[in-house]
Structures are given as structure tokens and as C-alpha cells.
């Protein structure tokens, strides 16, 4: 019997790498097919199909985020290519077994070893929490030291120079309920 999206919408544990996903069609609706890979980051807004109506020219020209001056008629703001690229590099870096290849400070190496090998008794961090911190670590400690990371580091420095040249900042977006204010303890 084939699995149905509506019978089991959640395929992954929140504590492990999200290695499976449901396929979505062009309208963001489930197709009842699963894939044994992580879903790529994409801008998907699942909206029920409207009753058949003619769209006006103005409706056809409306762009997602246009009122925020991020998207214009000439260029659509889409951060997903850079997100997917960084995810790939962080995943490869996370998979390195030799600690000398991590290219991080001794303090960061201790933190990473703790997360990867500690047996949590009650509350444990979600995968997305650890991945968010690993991404910040990769961007600040590893990217400046590797050729493939230099474009990200240059982008971060440029964005910070525009906002506040005296303070380096990196912000990571996590979904509601992802545990941004953790109450877990070791």
C-alpha cells in the first residue's frame, strides 16, 4: 500500500537530518510521492486554486515581496540558490570525521564534539537548531579560510559594512517552534 501525504505528513524526526520529503507539484500541492533526499529550499506558497476568473493585467504584474522593494519588475528577490549552496557546503563540512579538517577554534571544536557525541538525557536540541549554529560557525570560521567560502564571506562583510561597519552580524531564520529560545539542558 502506498503512503499518503495526508496519512503521514511528517517523514523525519526533528532530531535528525531531514533525509526524506514529499514531492510537491508546481502549485505546492503534495503528489503522494516521496524522495530519499532533503528538500531543496524553494519559495513555495501553496494557495488553493481559485475559481475560474479572468485575471486583470494588474494582477498578473503583482510580484511576491514587491512592496518591500526587494522584488522589482527587473529582478525577483530569491535567496534560495545561496541557501542551497551553503547547505551543501555545511553538510560536507559536518561530515568530516578528522577534527583537524574542521578549520575551527579549539573552543568551537569542543562544542561540536559535545553535540555530536553527547547522550542527552531528556531534552535534546533539534537538528535545525544545531544546523543553524553549524551554519553560523561555517560562515564565520570556515568560509574565510576556504576558496569556495570566500564569496559568502565577501557578501557578509559587504552587507555588514552597509548596516554597521563596526559590528559584524549574522542572522539566521528559524521557523516558529524550532526552539530559538531553548529550554533544554544537558
pLDDT tens-digit map of 42-62? 876 666 656 666 655 555 555
* Weakest-pLDDT range from 28-37, 97-106, 124-133: 124-133
What is the rounded CA–CA span in Å between residue 19 and residue 96?
Answer: 18
Taking each helix axis from N to C end, the angle separating 80-94 and 127-137, rounded to the nearest 10 degrees, works out to 90
Residue 24 phi/psi, 5-degree rounding, is -115, 145
Q: Is this structure's pTM higher than 0.85?
A: no
Map out the domains of the chain as residue ranges.
1-39, 80-163
Other C-beta atoms lying within 10 Å of the C-beta of residue 3: 12
* Weakest-pLDDT range from 13-17, 80-84, 91-95, 98-102: 80-84
Amino acid at each position: 500500500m502506498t503512503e499518503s501525504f495526508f496519512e503521514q505528513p511528517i517523514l523525519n524526526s526533528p532530531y535528525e537530518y531531514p533525509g526524506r520529503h514529499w514531492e510537491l507539484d508546481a502549485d505546492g500541492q503534495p503528489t503522494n510521492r516521496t524522495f530519499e533526499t532533503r528538500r531543496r529550499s524553494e519559495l513555495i506558497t501553496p494557495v488553493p486554486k481559485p475559481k475560474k476568473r479572468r485575471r486583470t493585467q494588474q494582477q498578473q504584474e503583482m510580484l511576491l515581496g514587491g512592496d518591500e522593494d526587494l522584488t522589482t519588475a527587473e529582478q525577483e528577490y530569491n535567496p534560495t540558490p545561496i541557501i542551497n549552496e551553503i547547505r551543501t557546503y555545511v553538510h560536507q563540512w559536518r561530515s568530516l570525521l578528522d577534527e583537524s579538517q574542521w578549520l575551527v577554534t579549539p573552543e568551537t571544536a569542543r562544542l561540536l564534539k559535545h553535540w555530536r557525541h553527547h547522550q542527552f538525557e531528556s531534552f535534546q536540541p533539534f537538528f535545525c537548531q544545531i544546523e543553524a549554529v553549524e551554519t553560523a560557525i561555517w560562515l564565520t570560521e570556515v568560509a574565510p579560510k576556504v576558496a569556495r567560502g570566500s564569496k559568502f564571506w565577501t557578501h557578509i562583510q559587504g552587507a555588514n559594512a552597509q548596516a554597521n561597519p563596526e559590528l559584524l552580524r549574522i542572522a539566521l531564520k528559524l521557523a516558529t517552534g524550532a526552539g530559538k529560545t531553548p529550554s533544554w539542558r544537558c
